[in-house]
Structure 1
Amino acid sequence: MTAPVLDTALCRLAGVRHPVVQTGMGWVAGPRLVSATAEAGALGVLASATMSLEQLGSAIREVRERTANPFGVNLRADAGDAEQRVDLLIREGVRVASFALLPDQRLIGKLKDAGVLVIPSVGARRHAEKVQAWGADAVLVQGGEGGGHTGPVATTVLLPQVVDAVDIPVIAAGGFFDGRGLAAALCYGAAGIGMGTRFLLTSDSAVPEEVKRRYLAAAAGDTLVTSRVDGMPHRMLRSALTDGAESGGTLRRLPGALRQAVAFKAMTGMSWRHLISDGLAMRRAKQLPWSAVLLAANTPMLIRQALVRGDADAGVLPAGQVVGMLDELPGCAELVTRIVGDAARVLGESAGRITAAEP
């Protein structure tokens, strides 16, 4: 089945067929999922935070071997080697650079001068206004229904605020999983939608099948936003691990966090200098105590335990609230085609049901 064309500012900007973005999820958004998304006509985004610089270069080249379509890379603006990663994207001719944290004006300018599109993620109107003033090409707005780290404001409240405040394309994220959501976002004035959990739960995702089944069995109320795992708010499935983190004190978690930091350093090839530099940047940006900075090594390793190794009981399962709406594992091509087709149908049917009354 061929999806209809919903041509939006996002499609024209990024050179994609459909106004759908697969967001950069650590350990999930690798070459396999990103290339499948790109082949489906949507914008796939590689997650680079859990990769070394060399691994990122290899992943970019693998995606390019799998597809000729545009794709993006998600970066951490506060990473100690952010500058080198930006240089890598420029050398490799990556189409889009997305950011989980706000990049500074200099990084945005460097990317734009090289012809790379810059799409930061934000959770507040003022942040969208700031990155637009700095030259961002578009902005992804995530409401509280999503990963939980951008703030508690719901997408239906946050999205119209940002659409009204900026003149660049706005991508809506947080709570989207089907064509009705895409239609609603377009009606709000967005240029497309971003989805994480929905793409995690596809047949093209490399997440172990037994872990996917754990997600599919979850209800919308089975998620919580907690900062007790690493000091930063994250939405995840409830588990024995989250129950223990919620009831345990910081001091009890610090020894384990230190071990995780050492393991993360060894796995990514990151030097102690870069690891400490990243910690300092996080401490300044988020005004965190050193205990929370140390705990921040917990999340990538605990997510890896679940999403790579398949140990859902010992790891962390990140999830948006839409997890409670999902009960199947379509391929990316089927998913994107269905979402766009359903959105076109919903928009057409809605227009047909409305009759303008004479005053």
Structure 2
Amino acid sequence: MSTLNRISTPLTELTGVEHPIVQTGMGWVAGPRLVTATAEAGALGILASATMSLRELEDAITEVKSRTDKPFGVNLRADAADAEQRVNLLTKYEVKVASFALAPKPELISRLKEHGAVVIPSIGSVRHAEKVAAWGADAVLIQGGEGGGHTGAIPTSLLLPTVAAAVDIPVIAAGGFFDGRGLAAALAYGAVGIGMGTRFLLTSDSAVPEEIKRRYLEFGLDGTVVTAKADGMPHRLLRTEFVQGLEGAGKLAQLLPTLRRTVQFKNMAGQSWLELARDGLAMKRSSGRSWNQMMLAANTPMLLKAGLVDGDTEAGMLASGQVVGVIDELPSCRELVDRIVDEAVVQLKAAAATVRSA
């Protein structure tokens, strides 16, 4: 039985979910199984499409829709060569939320909104938030430096209130959240809800191999590291022996493994060399990476797949937020969401009582 508590915010009103909690779009992790469980728990599940081919994305969308009638979303790479085709899938299947890892073009935002989709780009600075707000985005998701995967240097406690004060659209906070106290704090800071990646990865509904999830639970608050050696951009990962080896490797030592994994990803995605080159060029233009960084970026999908799908920590890397150090169990998505909402209600009522008594 789900919690009877409800916290209504502009996020729940925009998306139609019961609770102001978002399961973020993690590559290789946020598939139909996790998204369905999140949606059924009353939160907003986001499919991660960056590691899916166009056909795989369509199959994933139809699978989720066959398993739940609750709202869910899809995370898209705005700089992908086939971004417009992926947007067409969202409009075709009436997906409720379009989440973007980078700022989508204004015309993509307009097309999605015309079809009733809620557009929520992820941003890491005030400047980017102001830009997508001016282009018509419905809300933004900010990720502070505590978050896993690609991340910035500004902590959530500073980025959140700064962005909330700068834009007139709802702001969802991610980076460092794992319980009801965090949800209550985010609401107090001006957010309309929280996004969580690592906390949802570490649930019984996550398809990540059990031995890998148990491996995550072994790490403390100092168990992550931010490195640019994986793909040329700051990336928060578990501090495994493999990642420590990446940190100490020179450019020449990285070259052959990088080329090998590029070929693997090309074959897995079913892309021609021309399509792969076009995709890389689009990413380079949008991100401003050097060609050396672009070569490293080809590492990321296969390195993450080795750890998160194949369960090989010796040949792969594991993205993780700093919250890994305070997580010690693997609840279901339903148990997790209910607990967070109940804890947040207690915290918010206690704070209100304190204000009244003063």
Q: Cα deviations across residues 311-351 of structure 1 (Å, max 9, x unaligned)?
A: 12221010000000100000000100000010000111122
CA contact (8 A) 2:242 2:313 kept: no
Q: Cα deviations across residues 171-211 of structure 1 (Å, max 9, x unaligned)?
A: 00000000000000011111000000000000000000100
Is the aligned partner of 1:339 residue 2:340? Answer: yes
Say which SS state the counterpart of residue 220 (structure 1) adopts.
coil
Partner residue, 2:297: 296
CA contact (8 A) 1:31 1:63 kept: yes
Q: Cα deviations across residues 232-266 of structure 1 (Å, max 9, x unaligned)?
A: 11100011211111111122212111111111111
Return the alpha-carbon distance in structure 2 between the equivalents of residues 139 and 170 of structure 1: 5
Q: Cα deviations across residues 59-94 of structure 1 (Å, max 9, x unaligned)?
A: 000001110000000000011111110111111111
Name the amino acid aligned to 2:63: E
Deviation at 1:273, TM superposition (A): 2.2
Q: Cα deviations across residues 281-340 of structure 1 (Å, max 9, x unaligned)?
A: 222223222121111111110110011111122210100000001000000001000000
Partner residue, 1:114: 115
Write the mapping of 1:197-236 to structure 2, written as runs, cut at 5 A.
197-236=198-237
Name the amino acid aligned to 2:8: D
Return the alpha-carbon distance in structure 2 between the equivalents of residues 355 and 338 of structure 1: 26
Partner residue, 1:17: 18
Say which SS state the counterpart of residue 118 (structure 1) adopts.
strand
Partner residue, 2:7: 6
Q: Cα deviations across residues 19-68 of structure 1 (Å, max 9, x unaligned)?
A: 00000000000000000000000000000000000000000000011100
Partner residue, 1:263: 264
Return the alpha-carbon distance in structure 1 between the equivalents of residues 160 and 149 of structure 2: 15
Aligned CA RMSD, in angstroms, stands at 1.1
Q: Which runs of 5+ in 2 are unaligned?
A: none
CA contact (8 A) 1:254 1:291 kept: no
CA contact (8 A) 1:81 1:274 kept: no
Answer with 227-236 or 248-257: which moved more. Answer: 248-257
Return the alpha-carbon distance in structure 2 between the equivalents of residues 221 and 227 of structure 1: 18
Name the amino acid aligned to 2:223: D
Deviation at 1:356, TM superposition (A): 6.2
Deviation at 1:355, TM superposition (A): 4.7
Deviation at 1:280, TM superposition (A): 1.0
Answer with 238-247 or 201-210: which moved more. Answer: 238-247
Q: Cα deviations across residues 204-229 of structure 1 (Å, max 9, x unaligned)?
A: 00000100011011101010000101
Return the alpha-carbon distance in structure 2 between the equivalents of residues 25 and 134 of structure 1: 25
Deviation at 1:167, TM superposition (A): 1.1
Partner residue, 1:180: 181
Return the alpha-carbon distance in structure 2 between the equivalents of residues 55 and 275 of structure 1: 17
Q: Which runs of 5+ in 1 are unaligned?
A: none
Partner residue, 2:245: 244
Return the alpha-carbon distance in structure 2 between the equivalents of residues 2 and 68 of structure 1: 17
Return the alpha-carbon distance in structure 2 between the equivalents of residues 286 and 130 of structure 1: 15
Task: Normalising by structure 2, report the TM-score.
Answer: 0.98
Deviation at 1:149, TM superposition (A): 2.4
Query: Which of structure 1's runs of 4+ aligned residues deviate more than 6 A?
Result: none
Deviation at 1:269, TM superposition (A): 1.3
Is the aligned partner of 1:254 residue 2:255? Answer: yes
Return the alpha-carbon distance in structure 2 between the equivalents of residues 284 and 81 of structure 1: 15
Return the alpha-carbon distance in structure 2 between the equivalents of residues 125 and 80 of structure 1: 27
Task: Normalising by structure 1, report the TM-score.
Answer: 0.97
Say which SS state the counterpart of residue 222 (structure 2) adopts.
helix
Return the alpha-carbon distance in structure 2 between the equivalents of residues 116 and 352 of structure 1: 38
Return the alpha-carbon distance in structure 2 between the equivalents of residues 50 and 2 of structure 1: 32
Partner residue, 2:93: 92
Is the aligned partner of 1:134 residue 2:110? Answer: no
CA contact (8 A) 2:22 2:195 kept: yes
